[in-house]
Amino acid sequence: MTEFDDSLINRDADIEQAARCLKAMSHPLRLKILCTLGSKSISVQEIVEQVGTSQSNISQHLAILRDKGILACKKEANRVYYRVDDARTLKLIGMMKEVFCSC
């Protein structure tokens, strides 16, 4: 039997943040974007090339992830770079890769 830390259940703000994060990540394209980013900072164009859909579609999903506090962006010249802005999300992505992705 596995022991779980029940302290999260008593912190409503943490529960809300976890639910927002998981809901945002639950779309296959957004999850693919997050896996593509990992711990790197990548331009929108590079994300489009790696994920394989239109820039407008990617931009819509990036906006959702940014609005949920999962991504941060910075503009350099005429390019916008995105990165995962939450260490917990990076850890979660790493664990999902370990569990679901065959190596």
CATH code at position 31 = 1.10.10.10
pLDDT range class, residue 87, cuts 50, 70, 90: confident
Which residues constitute the domain of residue 85?
27-100
Predicted TM-score (pTM) of this structure: 0.81
Flag whether 64 is in a domain: yes
Number of domains present in the structure of the chain: 1
Q: What are the phi and psi torsion angles at 101 (to 5°)?
A: -100, 125
Closest CA relative to residue 40, chosen from 88, 86, 84, 87: 84
- Burial (CB < 10 A; 0-12, 13-18, 19+), residue 66, is middle
Flag whether 92 is in a domain: yes
Flag whether 9 is in a domain: no
Q: Which residues sit opposite 76 in a β-bridge? A: 79
Give the residue with greater pLDDT, 50 vs 11. Answer: 50
3-state secondary structure of 41: coil
Flag whether 74 is in a domain: yes
Flag whether 47 is in a domain: yes
Flag whether 14 is in a domain: no
Nearest-5° angle of CA 75, CA 66, CA 30?
110
